[in-house]
Structure 1
Amino acid sequence: MPAMHVRLGALAAALALSASLSTGASAQKKYDTGASDTEIKIGNIMAYSGPASAYGVIGKTEEAYFRKVNAEGGINGRKINFISYDDAYSPPKTVEQARKLVESDEVLFIFNSLGTPPNSAIQKYMNSKKVPQLFVATGATKWNDPQNFPWTMGWQPNYQSETQIYAKYILKEMPNAKIAVLFQNDDYGKDYLKGLKDGLGAKAASMIVQEESYEVSEPTIDSHIVKLKSTGADVFVNITTPKFAAQAIKKNAEIGWKPVHFLNNVSISIGSVMKPAGIENGQGVISSAYLKDPTDPQWKDDAGMKAWNEFLDKYYPDANRTDNSVVYGYTVAQTLAHVLKQCGDDLTRENVMKQAASIKDLELGMMLPGIKVNTSPTDFAPLSQLQLMRFKGETWERFGDVISGDVGG
C-alpha cells in the first residue's frame, strides 16, 4: 500500500511540474507579428539613392552586422530577418515603404530609418499602429517625446544639444563673433538652427548676421556660400548633409573665405565629406563626436576598434573604413542587439519599447570613452554627450571634455 502512495505522490508531483512548466512556457514566450521561435523580422528604410545616398552604407553595415549575429546563432536562438528598402530620402516614398513593411512584410518593428523628413512622415502612422519606430537615424529633438509618441525613439545625440554646445564655445572663445549660418530647409536644418539660437540666448539676434537656407533638391550650394561670405562673418555654422557639406568646404577654399567653421556631426565622415572636399580645404573645421574615428591613429590598439575591423574583414570587406557612417551603423545595430537580448522570450512590440526605454550605462566598443547609452520611460534620448574636435592633417583631433547637451524631451 505505501508503494502505491509513493507512485501517486510521484505522479502528482510530475503532473504539477509539467503544469508549472507549460504555464511557465506560455508565460515566457510571447510574440507579436514578426517574431517566432526561430526569427525576428526587422524593417528598415534607407536612402540608397537620391541626395542623401551617402548614408546608404548605414543600411549595408546593419545588414552585415545582423549576418554576423545570425552566423553566431542569432539572439536567444532566433535569427534576424532584416528587410531594408530604399526611399531615396523622399517622404511620400517612406510612407509607402513603411506601409509595405508593416502591412505586407509584417515586421515586428522598423529600426533606424534614415532622415528627419522621412521619419516625420511616418511617425503618426507608426504610433497609431503601435509598431515601434526604433532608434531612428536622425538627431531631431522631437523623437524624445514618450508622452505623445510612445512608439518612436531616437538614438544619436540630438541636434539642438549639439548646436548648443557650439554656441557655448562661441560665446566663451569668440564673444564678438559675427555668425553666418547655412542650413537645410527642413525639420533637420531648423532643429539645429533652434539649438544654436537657444544656446546663444539674448545674443543670437546681434551675433547671427545671416541665415541662409537651401533645398535638398538644389544641385549646388555655391551661390549661398558666396552670399554668406559677403556678410563679412567670421564664424560659419554649416548645417548640411554630406554632399552639401563637401561642396561648402570646397567653395570656402575657392573664394578664400576663412571663418571659424563649425560643421554638424552628421557630416563628419572623412570618406564621404572631408576627402571629396579636399583634405587641405578642411583644416581647422570644428565639429563634435561621440563615436571613435577609425582614421585616428590613437585607436589602433583599442579593443573596440579591433573588434570593428574584424567584423568588417569577415562580413563587409568592401566597406570604406574612413566613413564614419560605417561606425554609426555598427554601433546602433549593437544597441538593438542589446535590447533584443533583454527582451528574452517576450518579443511583443510593447516589450521591445519597454526594454529600449530601460537601458542603463551601456558602453559599446566604438563609442568614445565616457559616453554611455541611457534611457528611461520618460527619456527617449539614448545619447546626449559629445566632445568637440578639430580637423587637423588627415584626421579629427578631440579637445576639451565630454559635454552634455541641455536639451531633454
Structure 2
Amino acid sequence: MPVTANRLAIASTAFILLAASSSGALAQKKYDTGATDTEIKIGNIMPYSGPASAYGVIGKTEAAYFKKINDAGGINGRKINFISYDDGYSPPKTVEQARKLVESDEVLLVFNPLGTPPNSAIHKYMNSKKVPQLFVATGATKWNDPKDFPWTMGWQPNYQSEARIYAKYLLKDKPDAKIAILYQNDDYGKDYVKGLKDGLGAKAASMIVAEESYETTEPSIDGHIVKLKSTDANVFFNVTTPKFAAQAIKKMSEIGWKPLHLLNNVSSSIGAVMKPAGFENGQDIISAAYLKDAADPQWDNDAGMKGFLDFLAKDFPEGNKLDGSVIVGYGVAQTLVQVLKQCGDDLTRENVMKQAANLKEFRTEVLLPGVMINTSPTDFAPISQLQLERFKGEKWELFGDVISGDVGG
C-alpha cells in the first residue's frame, strides 16, 4: 500500500474512532462493585430455616426465575449471579449476612430480603453503605422514605394502603360499623391500625370500639377473641399472621361470634389459613388482593397466568402454584429484571435506584388487571392498589373495583 494511502487509512480510522467516542460518550459502560461486562451480582436474604421458613420458597422461586433469564441470554448480555443466604428470620443473623454480601461477596445490590424485623436491622447499614436494599419483602410503610433512606424501597402494597382500602369500604357499605381490632404488637400490626384510623378520618373515634394487641410469643389468642366478642362489635378487623388468623377464625365459630370479618392480606392464604381454620368457618370473610390466584378458574385462559404456569412446568417444577409466596417471588423477580433492563450499560448502584424510582405503569404477568407498578423519586411504594375479595366455598371471589390506598412517603 502506498504511504499516502496508508496515512489516509490511519487518519480516517482515527476520525472514525473520534466520532465514535464523541457520539458514544453517553453510551459508555459504567459499573460499580458487583457488575461487569458479563455478570450482575445480586444478594438476597431469606428465612430458609426458623419460624418463617415457609417464606423461603420466595428465594427459591427467584433463583429459578433468574436461571431462566440466564438460559435465555441474560440481561443486556450479562448473567445474573444470585447469591442467597439464610438468616432464620433472626435480625442479628440478617446483619451478619448483609455484611457478608456487601463486604465479602461484593454484590451490586441486596434484593427482596424478607421480614420487617430483619430489614429494620439492616436498614441504616445498607443506607450508610449506599447499597440498594431493593424491593424488600415486607409491607411496612417505613420503606417508603426516599428522603431519609434513599437506598431502600418496598414492593408489595404497604399495610397502611391496604387498611385505608378497608376503611373506604366500611364508610361506603357499613357506615354503622362498630369495629373491634385485634393486632400484632409490633410495626406490622400498628401500621394496619394507623392506616384504618387515617382512612376513617374523623369517624375513627366513634367507629372503633375496641383495640386489642397480642404478642407473637402467646401460644393462643382465644382469650382476646372472647374479650372482643363482649364489646358487641359488628365488624372485626383481624390483623394477625397466619397461625393466629387460623386460630381466630376457629374460635369465632366456636363461640358463635359473626361480625363482618376483615382479614389482612398477609393471612389470606388458602393453604396456610383458610383450610386449617375450616372452610365452613371462613365463609364471607373479606380480604384484599393485588396478585392473581392460580386456584381461580377465571385466569385459566389468561396469558400472564399461562406464562407463570409455563415457568413452573419448565423451570421450577417443585413450585406449588397454590402457594401465594411462589407468585410473589415470580412477580418481584420480573420487576427487578425490568429495572436492570432500564439500567442499560450504567450498572451503578445510583442508577439502579434511579431506575427503580422510574417505573411507569409497569405490570408483571401476575398482577390483577388494573393494578400497576408506579414509582417516582418521591414515591418508593411501587404497588398501592388492591381489589377486595370475599371467601366463598373454598376460594376467594374478587368484587368491586381496583381501589387505590395511596400513602405519602
- TM-score interval, smaller chain: over 0.9
Change (3 A) 1:279 1:20: farther
User: Are 1:386 and 1:403, in contact at CA under 8 Å, matched by a contact in 2?
Assistant: yes
Task: Spell out, residue by residue over 1:27-59, the C-alpha distance to the aligned partner (whole angstroms, 9 max, x if none).
Answer: 622211111222211111122233333322211
Shift of 1:399: 0.9
Partner of residue 33, structure 1? 33
User: Are 1:52 and 1:243, in contact at CA under 8 Å, matched by a contact in 2?
Assistant: no
User: Are 1:52 and 1:241, in contact at CA under 8 Å, matched by a contact in 2?
Assistant: no
SS, match of residue 135 in structure 1 = strand
Task: Spell out, residue by residue over 1:110-159, the C-alpha distance to the aligned partner (whole angstroms, 9 max, x if none).
Answer: 11111222212211111000000101111222211111111011111221
User: Quick one: which amino acid aligns to residue 274 of structure 1?
Assistant: M
User: Are 1:51 and 1:216, in contact at CA under 8 Å, matched by a contact in 2?
Assistant: no
Task: Spell out, residue by residue over 1:326-347, the C-alpha distance to the aligned partner (whole angstroms, 9 max, x if none).
Answer: 1111001000001111111211
Distance 2:397 2:354 in 1: 37
Task: Spell out, residue by residue over 1:229-285, the C-alpha distance to the aligned partner (whole angstroms, 9 max, x if none).
Answer: 222222111112222222222222233222111111122222222222222221111
SS, match of residue 75 in structure 1 = coil
Task: Spell out, residue by residue over 1:335-363, the C-alpha distance to the aligned partner (whole angstroms, 9 max, x if none).
Answer: 00011111112111111111111111112
Shift of 1:69: 1.1
Higher mean alpha-carbon deviation, 395-404 vs 267-276, is at 267-276
User: Are 1:359 and 1:376, in contact at CA under 8 Å, matched by a contact in 2?
Assistant: yes
User: Are 1:180 and 1:209, in contact at CA under 8 Å, matched by a contact in 2?
Assistant: yes
Higher mean alpha-carbon deviation, 387-396 vs 127-136, is at 387-396
Change (3 A) 1:196 1:101: same
SS, match of residue 382 in structure 1 = coil
SS, match of residue 28 in structure 1 = coil
TM-score (norm 2): 0.95
Distance 2:13 2:29 in 1: 22
Partner of residue 208, structure 1? 208
Q: How does 1:292-311 map to 2 (within 5 A)?
A: 292-311=292-311
Partner of residue 345, structure 2? 345
SS, match of residue 85 in structure 2 = strand
User: Are 1:327 and 1:366, in contact at CA under 8 Å, matched by a contact in 2?
Assistant: yes
Distance 1:223 1:20 in 2: 77
TM-score (norm 1): 0.95
Partner of residue 11, structure 2? 12
User: Are 1:66 and 1:80, in contact at CA under 8 Å, matched by a contact in 2?
Assistant: yes
Partner of residue 361, structure 1? 361
Partner of residue 325, structure 1? 325
Shift of 1:9: 2.7
Partner of residue 60, structure 1? 60
SS, match of residue 398 in structure 2 = strand
Distance 1:88 1:122 in 2: 15
Structure 1 residue 230 corresponds to structure 2 residue 218: no
User: Quick one: which amino acid aligns to residue 59 of structure 2?
Assistant: G
Distance 2:20 2:253 in 1: 71
Distance 2:391 2:225 in 1: 20
Distance 1:252 1:172 in 2: 25
Distance 1:19 1:221 in 2: 73
User: Quick one: which amino acid aligns to residue 8 of structure 1?
Assistant: R
SS, match of residue 48 in structure 2 = coil
Distance 2:260 2:181 in 1: 12
Change (3 A) 1:320 1:247: farther
Identity among equivalent pairs (%): 76
Q: How does 1:5-154 map to 2 (within 5 A)?
A: 5-18=4-17, 24=24, 28-154=28-154
User: Are 1:184 and 1:216, in contact at CA under 8 Å, matched by a contact in 2?
Assistant: yes
Q: Indicate the RMSD between aligned Cα atoms, in angstroms.
A: 1.9
User: Are 1:109 and 1:132, in contact at CA under 8 Å, matched by a contact in 2?
Assistant: yes
User: Quick one: which amino acid aligns to residue 9 of structure 2?
Assistant: A
Distance 1:66 1:390 in 2: 34
Distance 1:221 1:63 in 2: 37
User: Are 2:181 and 2:212, in contact at CA under 8 Å, matched by a contact in 1?
Assistant: yes
Shift of 1:289: 1.1
Distance 2:216 2:15 in 1: 66
User: Quick one: which amino acid aligns to residue 384 of structure 2?
Assistant: S
Distance 2:150 2:209 in 1: 39
SS, match of residue 149 in structure 1 = coil
Q: How many equivalent residue pairs?
A: 408
SS, match of residue 162 in structure 1 = helix
Shift of 1:203: 2.0
Distance 1:102 1:218 in 2: 36
SS, match of residue 153 in structure 1 = strand
Change (3 A) 1:50 1:235: farther
User: Quick one: which amino acid aligns to residue 394 of structure 2?
Assistant: E
User: Quick one: which amino acid aligns to residue 16 of structure 2?
Assistant: L
SS, match of residue 136 in structure 2 = coil
Distance 1:87 1:227 in 2: 37
SS, match of residue 152 in structure 2 = coil
Q: How does 1:230-249 map to 2 (within 5 A)?
A: 230-249=230-249
User: Are 1:117 and 1:186, in contact at CA under 8 Å, matched by a contact in 2?
Assistant: no
Partner of residue 394, structure 1? 394
Change (3 A) 1:32 1:86: same
Shift of 1:21: 5.0
